[in-house]
Amino acid sequence: MHGHDLLVVGSANADLVIHVDRRPDAGETVLGSDLATHPGGKGANQAVAAARLGARTALLARVGDDAHGRLLTGSLTSAGVDTTRVLSGDTPTGVALITVDPSGDNSIVVSPGANARLTPADVAGARELLAAARVVSLQLEIPLESVAAAVAAATEAGTRIVLNPSPPAALPREVLAGCDPIVVNEHEARVLLGPEAGDTPEAWAAGLLALGPRSVVVTLGAAGALAATADGTVRIPSPRVAAVDTTGAGDSFTGALAWRLGAGDDLVTAVRFAVRVGAAAVKKPGAQESFPTLEEVGQL
């Protein structure tokens, strides 16, 4: 019996967002909007996105005993996420500094804070949760050794693993081998593959499959996504929407994808659904506040 449809192991940040007419060049100062503070972090975002859609979701993460930590736990609880394993300590909650331009594109700098203190021991303490979930979803805003520990525990338990390697970093072969799928955008694919990456999503997917994952998903922004396995690749277009803010759109995509894979969808079907969720998420400002319900996805 699965205790949760999805267990997310990852980060929880407070997003500090400023809208600007354009991003500053080196040494330049520009004026922006009033500062807005939103709950975010790739792990918390994925958990909230899945829970909003109806998934039974839990999060393993660390926050600080501070106002930002309380903001995050409140948002997670309101969305229906199980926060039993959201651990609190003396280190400040992680913070993301985000600028958003008029097209909705963003630039982000992250101060990891408590996220950097999520340890393999914390993962070991949640082994029963890992074993009882249908899918475990991970990112790289927590220490790589903790990601590797979660992959090892999930593999041992037979739990499916979804990994978004963001921010991108070199991954151990055993981590790559556990991914089903690894989910990347163009930047992440190019960093992982290096100078021989190629110039097309199909080339990136082929190169990543050669590194060991069982499947690959390449997100293509407004163009949709590409799903790849050893049997071939399929491009899935996105609905056309007016983008207001792309912050968190990739996280909503991955959370939705992980949930639908755990529910039994094949990869292409799950990606087709996740593309619609990502499209719905860019229609509103912020990250978690913009994530759609199942009904809102159906309206696209």
Domain range list for the chain: 4-298
Annotated active-site residue in 5, 82, 122, 251:
251
pLDDT-derived band at 289, boundaries 50, 70, 90: confident
Inform me whether the pLDDT recorded for 177 exceeds 80.
yes
pLDDT-derived band at 283, boundaries 50, 70, 90: confident
Mean pLDDT of 4-26: 93
Mean pLDDT of 22-50: 93
14 is in an annotated binding site: yes
The predicted pLDDT at position 114 comes to 97
223 is in an annotated binding site: yes
pLDDT-derived band at 156, boundaries 50, 70, 90: very high
**Cβ neighbours of 264 (radius 10 Å):** 9
Phi first, then psi: give them for residue 146, nearest 5 degrees: -75, -35
Q: Is 251 a catalytic residue?
A: yes
The predicted pLDDT at position 172 comes to 95
The predicted pLDDT at position 295 comes to 84
pLDDT-derived band at 275, boundaries 50, 70, 90: very high
Mean pLDDT of 257-265: 96
Give which of 138, 205, 122 is closest to 175, Cα–Cα.
138
Mean pLDDT of 174-199: 93
219 is in an annotated binding site: yes
In angstroms, rounded to a whole number, what is the distance separating the alpha carbons of residues 214 and 34?
Answer: 45
The predicted pLDDT at position 2 comes to 67
In angstroms, rounded to a whole number, what is the distance separating the alpha carbons of residues 134 and 159?
Answer: 6
Mean pLDDT of 126-148: 95
290 is in an annotated binding site: yes
The predicted pLDDT at position 163 comes to 98
176 vs 199, higher pLDDT: 176
Per-chain mean pLDDT for the chain = 92
The predicted pLDDT at position 251 comes to 93
99 is in an annotated binding site: no
The predicted pLDDT at position 249 comes to 87
Mean pLDDT of 191-211: 93
**Cβ neighbours of 205 (radius 10 Å):** 26
- On whether the 4-298 domain is CATH 1.10.10.60, my answer is no
- Whether residue 96 contacts residue 13, with contact meaning beta carbons closer than 8 Å, is answered with yes
In angstroms, rounded to a whole number, what is the distance separating the alpha carbons of residues 192 and 181?
Answer: 15
Inform me whether the pLDDT recorded for 1 exceeds 60.
no
pLDDT-derived band at 107, boundaries 50, 70, 90: confident
251 is in an annotated binding site: yes
3 vs 115, higher pLDDT: 115
23: tokens are 């991003």
Model-level pTM?
0.91
**106-111 and 36-40 as β-strands: parallel, antiparallel, unpaired?**
unpaired
In angstroms, rounded to a whole number, what is the distance separating the alpha carbons of residues 1 and 37?
Answer: 38
15 is in an annotated binding site: yes
221 is in an annotated binding site: yes
The model's pLDDT over 62-103, given as tens digits with 9 standing for 90+, comes to 999 999 999 999 999 999 999 999 999 999 999 989 898 888
